[in-house]
């Protein structure tokens, strides 16, 4: 079995709450992100971009997202409010993966989104290969236009996911996976 196949068979997410320092250093992060953007890209549109959230900026982002959430949902109190307030504080680095949809392109929107999703997955896979932990999260903030404005997104852009990166602080067991036999069929005419 090749190392690449073994890597695919072992990759799993590490919950953001269980990620701590260190995050990849700048050189490692640059190499990881350069590799992550090597995705199938019909029409060479590059329908994605990345936004890093770290240190104090990450904390400020979380506070502003919480404020937006409270305005949009005044009933958000207690544990839900605290969850929102701390969502971006656990992992030392968060990468917002952003889809940039070109509505005038011959390339269908779904293919542009899938291309962006591949970037997000490559970050997860690359982080695991490098010995880091990562989790792809969305939540309401990924779909909120006020949060999009906070990130400086254009009207044709939206968050596909927030990738939380860091070093696992505990051993995380793999979850149960579906069996291939339950998912695979062969089409015949």
DSSP 69-88: HHHH-TT--HHHHHHHHHTT
CA–CA gap between residue 124 and residue 121 (Å, rounded): 5
- Tell whether 42 is in a known binding site: yes
Backbone angles phi, psi at 121, to 5 degrees: -65, -40
- Tell whether 136 is in a known binding site: yes
Question: What pLDDT is attached to residue 154?
Answer: 98
DSSP 86-106: HTTTSSSEEEEEEEE--TTSS
CA–CA gap between residue 170 and residue 78 (Å, rounded): 27
- Tell whether 12 is in a known binding site: yes
The three-state secondary structure class of 158 is: strand
Find residue 151's DSSP bridge partners.
Answer: none
- Tell whether 38 is in a known binding site: yes
- Tell whether 177 is in a known binding site: no
Superfamily of 10-171 according to CATH: NADH Oxidase (3.40.109.10)
Residues of the chain with pLDDT under 70: 1
Question: What pLDDT is attached to residue 14?
Answer: 97
Question: What pLDDT is attached to residue 1?
Answer: 52
Question: What pLDDT is attached to residue 82?
Answer: 86
- Tell whether 185 is in a known binding site: no
Q: E strands within the chain? A: 19-20, 48-54, 93-100, 133-137, 157-168
Tell me the pLDDT tens digit for each residue of 31-43.
999 999 999 999 9
- Tell whether 187 is in a known binding site: no
Single pTM value for the model: 0.95
Domain ranges of the chain: 10-171
Tokens representing residue 183 in the block = 């998912």
């Amino acid at each position: 079995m090749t190392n690449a196949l073994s890597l695919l068979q072992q990759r799993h997410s590490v919950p953001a709450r269980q990620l701590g320092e260190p995050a990849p250093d700048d050189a490692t992060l640059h190499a990881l992100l350069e590799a992550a953007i090597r995705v199938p890209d019909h029409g060479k549109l590059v329908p994605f971009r990345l936004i890093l959230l770290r240190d104090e900026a990450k904390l400020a982002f979380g506070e502003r997202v919480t404020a937006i959430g409270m305005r949009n949902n005044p009933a958000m109190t207690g544990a839900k409010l605290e969850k929102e307030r701390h969502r971006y504080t656990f992992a030392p680095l968060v990468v917002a993966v952003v889809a940039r949809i070109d509505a005038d392109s011959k390339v269908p929107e779904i293919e542009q989104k899938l291309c962006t999703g591949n970037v997000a997955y490559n970050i997860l896979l690359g982080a695991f290969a490098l010995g880091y932990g990562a989790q792809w999260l969305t939540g309401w903030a990924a779909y909120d236009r006020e949060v999009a404005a906070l990130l400086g997104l254009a009207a044709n852009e939206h968050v596909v996911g927030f990738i939380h990166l860091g070093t696992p602080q505990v051993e995380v067991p793999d979850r149960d996976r579906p069996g291939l036999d339950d998912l695979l069929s062969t089409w015949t005419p």
